[in-house]
Structure 1
Amino acid sequence: MEKRTILAFALSFLVLILWSFLFNPSKDQVSKKGETPETVAPRTVSQSPETASAPHAALSKAPEKTKFKLAPETDEKEVVVDTPLYRAVFTNAGPTIKSFKLKEYRESVEPDSPLIELINLQQDKADFLIISFDGASASQLEKTIYQVEHQKIRLESDSSPKNLVFHSSTSGGISISQTYRFYPDQYRIDLHIDVINQSGEIVTGAFVADIKALPPEGKQSYYSYVGIVLLLDDKLEEVKIKKASEPKDLAGRIGWMAYEDDFFISAVIPDEPSKASFKGRLLPSGILEGTYMPPSISLHPSERVSSGYTLYLGPRELGILKQLGKNLERAISFGWTDIIAKPLLYLLRFFNQYINNYGVSIILLTILIKILFWPLTNKSYKSMKEMQKLQPRMAKIREKYKNNKAQLNKEMMGLYKTYKVNPMGGCLPMIIQLPVFFALFRILGSAIELRQAPFMLWIKDLSAPDRLFNFPFSIPFMEPPYGIPVLTLLMGASMFLQQKMTPTPGDPMQAKIMMFLPLIFTFMFINFPSGLVLYWFVNNILSIGQQYRIHRS
């Protein structure tokens, strides 16, 4: 009975892994783009109290309305924006961002590894982001060729913010200016769009934002969602689409729209969140598309309307997102363990401030958790020891009443009562610890803080599986890169030693299962992040020490 504690824990862990594998969004489950009238001085649109709550609500109900198309004006040009944090390439066709490379993050730990590129679309197939003023989806617009003066903008660490201005006039007499503002020490980009109706007619349209991304091929993450997300009615909404023929339509108060993976996020955040509609699509090419569209407005001749946004393209780091002040930190979700996981993540960050080694920080966090649960686990091990003393008596009762289950249970309960032993005493403390373990499972597999964070010796990336040497051949059950999983093998050995110190169950079937658990866990952990393996290994060592102390006493 006492061994069922560990068995229950192991089975719970297996359920977690299977649940993550089966119910995590697969590759196709995440979401899938006359004569010019005389110009007069523009007058700014004013909103009535009824429409003030919706920044882009209709401004006029005049019966005569026309929709416009955007027409090309000049040749396509590229503008390079170089800051200490990123190198971005803008194009005046759209305008849009063609490339966005993060200077502080590389694809691997190798020093000559390419910088992380957040935009992985072929420009002849799709545009990453288009925000403009029109009555249709941004993906249906005739792409505007804007006028732009700059060819390159460079910001040093001590530079003041700099602006990049795109300007265009449509064939329908609509003047559109887009002003991007860059900061030397931030991933945020401010965008201000100014629209003036220079025609002689009323036009109608909306400020539409369209984002596209191509999810990585292969299986999705065990640890976090990959796809388009929204802050909808103050709740995190993961836009999951199973088929290209099944678009997803949503409506409500939209705080922001973003595409995220395990470690990075690209977000569009309106300055004034309002009630709006959203359409998510999975295109035949496998590209995810999300379109944000607030209510349409009517623009009278000479009227002006503006809209502002904050763009964020960078790491999913809790501290940075929280500092942004746009509720974008809500994108980092650890599911039902969130209430436990985020405090643990803050503790990891706190330790690392003083130690500057996330591997050591994980060890300290493991020790702290062990200290907090020491009284409970102590009680658990003592209960298991008491149960071990009763094994001979329990074996005799099982043999005597093996054909009478009712009497067997009655005699067992009488034995527990006589010796004041709770058969579940070893289980409860372990069950209480399960949420903490699951929270750490989510943190150590998806926290940007551990990405390419070195520990010591051969472990150079705590977010990747540990491998000593690189073999040119494949190894069964192992994902590339192929090598010797030293830390995982040590973890399996520590689990085997802990198993030997634990009382043997009276049930032969349970004994066989428990005998194979260290081997099963070793194969399970072989492709897990080394940070998670390190936590489990240190926890095993501490548990062995605790059990040894109890046995000696």
Structure 2
Amino acid sequence: MENKRVILAVVLSLAVLVGWNFLFPAKPPAPKPDTAAQSQAQAPAPKATPAPKADPIAAFAPTPGKKVMVETPLYTAEFNAAGGVLSQFSLKNYRQTITNDSPLVDLVNAKSQSKAPLGLILNGSPTWQNVDWAIEGGDLRLGPADTGSLTFVGRMGDVTLKRVMTFSGAGYLIDEKLSLQNAGGAPLSSRLSMTVAVDRLSAEGDSYNPTQAAFYDTSGLELFSSEKKLAEGIADEKPVQWGSIMSNYFLVGVIPQTDNLHGKAKIEDGIFRVAVDKEGIDIPAGGRSDLDISYYLGPKDPKYLAAAPNHLSAAIDYGWFDFIAKPLLKLLHFFYDYVGNYGVAIILLTVLIKAIFWPLSHKSYKSMEQMKKLQPLLSQLREKYKDDRQKMNEEMMQLYKTYKVNPAGGCLPMVVQIPVFFGLYQALLHSIELRHACFIRYLPFTDMIWLADLSAKDPFYITPLIMGATMFLQQKMTPAPGDPTQAKIMLLMPVIFTFMFLNFPSGLVVYWLVNNVISIAQQYWMLNKKS
């Protein structure tokens, strides 16, 4: 097949791949127990193994409605004594918008606290309702190297729940040691749901940065972003290691450190709720059953996620091109450490990528030039064999062989670079560092905010329009296909790409724009240099 047809196929493939996330959102999340989960019937459990002997039950003095604060260098949290649930969790290093006086990101706002974030559901009954609770300890103010604990104690019939939560000033992880003590004369088999709840973590309808439920099960990371199905309630039937609600930049998750867990998710009253269920918790008469649980509320920063158990770091998913995205991110951070501007760092990274692919580009342009010289002969063959396509293709292949021209040589370098583009696309899309990272704050000669957030689209669409113009210029510099219809289709590609890039994060548009500008300069030099 002729060179231009191969190029057309590759470009169209690229267009489909680039637009995939936009046209086809990720598969919906699995349902987790909210109120619906609380109404599930208790399931029978396997025979209990010997449990630790229960501690003596101390004198109990309920402290209804009492609030306690935990402050670290990274966040401020407020807990309610009634069930040890969260009523606030503000991240000190992240604001809702790019303005300096913007409120801090609060992962537990007034709307979501009504769904009892970090609440426990025992045998279908929410432990934060109709249960007497007491709290041991007061407000905590922790330094970077400090740790501190709060203890919440509640009674449900013969069962005493003891939640000991430990906080660290160095991270976003909350570790809990849960004890279920049975003061009755008969053994109990219980089911426990560990829940998190959060308001929307991104703008409604944002296809590039959806709020979604996520589970890590035996198949790896499972993402569920269909709000229609989440509103109905969904479940991950495979055993899970953790469950969360997350966006590209933030995550609220529960990580029980035990086995035989199942996850559910649901949107209820506009709040995303996730629960991880543990069936068959056996508590002997006069005995105790213990469980370790961790919670993570914070940014999707690899440094902090790596400290969490059960592969929570898998929440940052770069897709098929993970092996490319990670080193590209390291290079991006390397450049940023020197220049202090992520926009400039993206430009430097683009220059480096183009330099690495220089030999391939050189071969591509040489192949295009050879194909340009063969166009008159190819046109003659088309005319001669216009009624016999098989014969025409045979003669064309013979012509390529005679002149030692590879018809796909002009597009193969493009194919090789596609994984790099998608790797960088995923890296920029999921990098918390690019959230609110400024490139050029104001539109030149104005006071209008422009590229002040590389994770957001260009508000004036200037960069995608210039990017489209550079693509059009590249098309004009490339030898035209012999088929006029095909040539017109090729000229439509800049329009298609411009449309797709209008709402792309501006950091990615900057990369593609700079890549085009360098390619134009490179193509001009290589096609016009003296032999």
TM-score of the pair, normalised by structure 2: 0.85
Structure-1 residue corresponding to 2:197: 212
Q: Does 1:247 align with 2:231?
A: no
Superimposed CA distance per residue, residues 260-279 of structure 1 (whole angstroms, 9 cap, x where no aligned partner): 11111112122x33122333
Structure-1 residue corresponding to 2:255: 269
Distance 2:495 2:238 in 1: 50
Paired amino acid for 2:408 = M
Paired amino acid for 2:94 = Y
Distance 1:124 1:203 in 2: 31
Superimposed CA distance per residue, residues 481-529 of structure 1 (whole angstroms, 9 cap, x where no aligned partner): xxx3332233223223222221122111122223233333223212211
1:316 and 1:11, CA in 2 relative to 1: closer, same or farther beyond 3 A? same
Secondary structure of 1:403 counterpart: coil
1:143 and 1:422, CA in 2 relative to 1: closer, same or farther beyond 3 A? farther
Distance 1:273 1:298 in 2: 14
Shift in Å at residue 209 of structure 1? 0.6
1:313 and 1:235, CA in 2 relative to 1: closer, same or farther beyond 3 A? same
Secondary structure of 1:146 counterpart: strand
Distance 2:172 2:132 in 1: 26
Alignment counterpart, residue 257 of structure 1, candidates 243, 246, 253:
243
Query: What is the count of residue pairs matched by the alignment?
Result: 498
Distance 2:29 2:292 in 1: 31
Distance 1:259 1:439 in 2: 24
Alignment counterpart, residue 77 of structure 2, candidates 88, 108, 114:
88
Shift in Å at residue 140 of structure 1? 8.2
Structure-2 residue corresponding to 1:99: 88
Paired amino acid for 2:511 = Y
Paired amino acid for 2:204 = G
Please provide the CA RMSD for this pair: 2.9
Contact map agreement 2:85 2:128 (CA 8 A) in 1? no
Contact map agreement 2:195 2:254 (CA 8 A) in 1? no
1:290 and 1:5, CA in 2 relative to 1: closer, same or farther beyond 3 A? same
Alignment counterpart, residue 264 of structure 2, candidates 279, 292, 298:
279
Alignment counterpart, residue 513 of structure 1, candidates 484, 489, 494:
489
The 5 Å alignment of 1:164-183 reads 164-170=150-156, 172-183=157-168
Secondary structure of 2:457 counterpart: coil
Alignment counterpart, residue 135 of structure 1, candidates 93, 109, 123:
123
Shift in Å at residue 19 of structure 1? 2.6
Superimposed CA distance per residue, residues 106-129 of structure 1 (whole angstroms, 9 cap, x where no aligned partner): 111110111112235625852222
Structure-1 residue corresponding to 2:478: 502
Alignment counterpart, residue 228 of structure 1, candidates 195, 204, 213:
213
Shift in Å at residue 18 of structure 1? 4.2
Shift in Å at residue 440 of structure 1? 1.6
Secondary structure of 1:330 counterpart: helix
Distance 1:30 1:109 in 2: 33
Shift in Å at residue 168 of structure 1? 2.0
Structure-1 residue corresponding to 2:68: 79
Alignment counterpart, residue 492 of structure 1, candidates 457, 468, 482:
468
Shift in Å at residue 536 of structure 1? 0.4
Alignment counterpart, residue 422 of structure 2, candidates 438, 442, 453:
438
The 5 Å alignment of 1:328-347 reads 328-347=312-331
Distance 2:337 2:183 in 1: 56
Distance 1:436 1:167 in 2: 53
1:545 and 1:57, CA in 2 relative to 1: closer, same or farther beyond 3 A? farther
Distance 2:130 2:149 in 1: 22
Distance 1:401 1:448 in 2: 58
Paired amino acid for 1:92 = A
Shift in Å at residue 225 of structure 1? 6.1
Shift in Å at residue 97 of structure 1? 0.9
Structure-2 residue corresponding to 1:537: 513
Distance 1:410 1:17 in 2: 34
Shift in Å at residue 94 of structure 1? 2.2
Paired amino acid for 1:7 = L
Distance 1:168 1:324 in 2: 27
Structure-2 residue corresponding to 1:155: 142
Shift in Å at residue 282 of structure 1? 4.7
Q: Does 1:15 align with 2:16?
A: yes
Alignment counterpart, residue 285 of structure 2, candidates 278, 301, 309:
301
1:124 and 1:375, CA in 2 relative to 1: closer, same or farther beyond 3 A? closer
Instruction: Could you tell me which runs of 5 or more consecutive residues in structure 2 were left unpaired when the two chains were aligned.
Output: 35-44, 52-59, 443-450
Of the structure 1 ranges 208-217 and 138-147, higher mean CA displacement relative to structure 2 is found in 138-147
Shift in Å at residue 2 of structure 1? 4.0
1:430 and 1:249, CA in 2 relative to 1: closer, same or farther beyond 3 A? closer
Structure-1 residue corresponding to 2:42: none
Instruction: Could you tell me which runs of 5 or more consecutive residues in structure 1 were left unpaired when the two chains were aligned.
Output: 34-55, 63-70, 468-483
Distance 2:220 2:336 in 1: 31
Paired amino acid for 1:393 = L
Structure-1 residue corresponding to 2:352: 368
Structure-2 residue corresponding to 1:465: 457
Q: Does 1:201 align with 2:201?
A: no
Distance 1:450 1:74 in 2: 44
Superimposed CA distance per residue, residues 403-428 of structure 1 (whole angstroms, 9 cap, x where no aligned partner): 23233222212221211111111122
1:209 and 1:143, CA in 2 relative to 1: closer, same or farther beyond 3 A? farther
Secondary structure of 1:296 counterpart: strand
Contact map agreement 1:31 1:288 (CA 8 A) in 2? no
Shift in Å at residue 304 of structure 1? 2.4
Structure-2 residue corresponding to 1:415: 399
Contact map agreement 1:121 1:213 (CA 8 A) in 2? no
Distance 2:360 2:326 in 1: 23
Distance 2:63 2:414 in 1: 68
Contact map agreement 2:120 2:127 (CA 8 A) in 1? no
Superimposed CA distance per residue, residues 25-74 of structure 1 (whole angstroms, 9 cap, x where no aligned partner): 48x867462xxxxxxxxxxxxxxxxxxxxxx9642699xxxxxxxx9954
Distance 1:141 1:203 in 2: 20
Distance 2:21 2:219 in 1: 26
Distance 2:140 2:132 in 1: 20
Distance 1:523 1:245 in 2: 34
Alignment counterpart, residue 498 of structure 2, candidates 517, 522, 533:
522
Contact map agreement 1:60 1:297 (CA 8 A) in 2? no
Paired amino acid for 1:455 = F
Contact map agreement 1:205 1:296 (CA 8 A) in 2? yes
Structure-1 residue corresponding to 2:56: none
TM-score of the pair, normalised by structure 1: 0.82
Contact map agreement 2:120 2:126 (CA 8 A) in 1? no
Paired amino acid for 2:411 = C
Shift in Å at residue 143 of structure 1? 5.3
1:12 and 1:508, CA in 2 relative to 1: closer, same or farther beyond 3 A? same
Contact map agreement 1:166 1:177 (CA 8 A) in 2? yes
Q: Percent identity?
A: 41
Secondary structure of 1:402 counterpart: coil
Contact map agreement 2:234 2:265 (CA 8 A) in 1? yes
Contact map agreement 1:93 1:143 (CA 8 A) in 2? no
Distance 1:208 1:246 in 2: 15
Contact map agreement 1:121 1:214 (CA 8 A) in 2? no
Shift in Å at residue 239 of structure 1? 4.3
Distance 1:527 1:21 in 2: 10
Superimposed CA distance per residue, residues 437-474 of structure 1 (whole angstroms, 9 cap, x where no aligned partner): 1222222222212111112353221111123xxxxxxx
Paired amino acid for 1:273 = T
